[in-house]
């Protein structure tokens, strides 16, 4: 967005957080056993994250499903549901996502079908996909990392991108990839910080 400015090389070189592979599925069935927020954990959570650190996607991923039509019925056609299906994946560091995505989709459907005791793929009416490459292109988040710099050490919070620029007057930063961190509460807190320093 600022092509005439030098990139923040120190921050860009820091290890990145995870990214996500997201399937937006229109499902032609209602699942009474599911709520708005649903998590299907990996059998080996530790190995799943070790694989991500190695730039790979584990074949038994933890799957998060958000279904807003549970609260807002108009978000999906009658008798159906809108599934936001998210799998944690590494940031885009050169993986062949055209090969990775179908494999992850297959493993995710196999897991959900086993756990829900129904052929989920047969119920998909519509589908859109968001992967690390598209996340980077849509949001400008480096390598498609959802939370910017990785938070895997004690100093991470102090190394995050600040909320203001030291070089450009009145340029401020807000969101999950800057101080204080990712997630809606921290994103709102970053907005509060900016509000307070600009008063």
Query: Facing residues of 84 across strands?
Result: 24, 66
Give me the pLDDT at residue 179, please.
73
Rounded distance, CA 187 to CA 51, Å? Answer: 28
The distance of Cα 33 from the centroid of its chain, to the nearest Å, equals 24
> What is the DSSP code (8-state) at residue 117?
T
Burial 27-46 (b: 16+ CB within 10 A, else e): beeebeeeeeebebebeeee
Using an 8 Å Cβ cutoff, are 162 and 175 in contact?
A: no
- Provide the pLDDT for residue 157: 59
Higher-confidence residue of 138 and 116: namely: 116
Distance of CA 77 to the CA centre of its chain: 26
Phi, psi (5° rounding) for residue 40?
-115, 105
Percent of the chain residues past pLDDT 90, beyond the cut? 52
156-182 tens-digit pLDDT:
656 667 788 878 888 888 777 777 766
Query: Residue 148's pLDDT is what?
Result: 61
* Sheet strand arrangement including 37-40: 37-40, 63-66, 81-89, 19-27, 124-130
pLDDT in tens, 45-83: 899 989 988 889 999 999 999 999 999 999 999 999 999
Percent of the chain with pLDDT over 70: 87
Which pTM does this prediction carry? 0.81
């Amino acid at each position: 967005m600022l092509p005439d400015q030098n990139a923040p090389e120190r921050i860009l070189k820091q290890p990145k957080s995870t990214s996500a592979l997201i399937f937006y599925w229109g499902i032609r069935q209602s699942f009474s056993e599911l709520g708005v927020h649903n998590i299907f954990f990996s059998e080996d959570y530790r190995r799943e994250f070790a694989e991500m650190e190695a730039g790979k996607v584990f074949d038994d991923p933890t799957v998060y499903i958000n279904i807003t039509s549970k609260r807002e019925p108009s978000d999906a056609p009658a008798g159906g549901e809108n599934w936001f299906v998210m799998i944690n994946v590494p940031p885009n560091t050169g993986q062949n996502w055209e090969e990775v995505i179908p494999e992850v989709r297959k493993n995710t459907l196999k897991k959900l079908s086993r756990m829900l005791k129904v052929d989920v793929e047969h119920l998909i009416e519509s589908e859109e996909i968001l992967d690390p490459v598209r996340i980077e292109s849509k949001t400008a988040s480096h390598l498609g990392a959802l939370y910017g710099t990785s938070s895997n050490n004690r100093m991470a919070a102090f190394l995050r991108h600040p909320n203001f620029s030291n070089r450009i007057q009145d340029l401020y930063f807000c969101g999950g990839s800057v101080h204080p961190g990712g997630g809606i509460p921290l994103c709102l807190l970053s907005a509060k910080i900016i509000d307070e320093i600009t008063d």
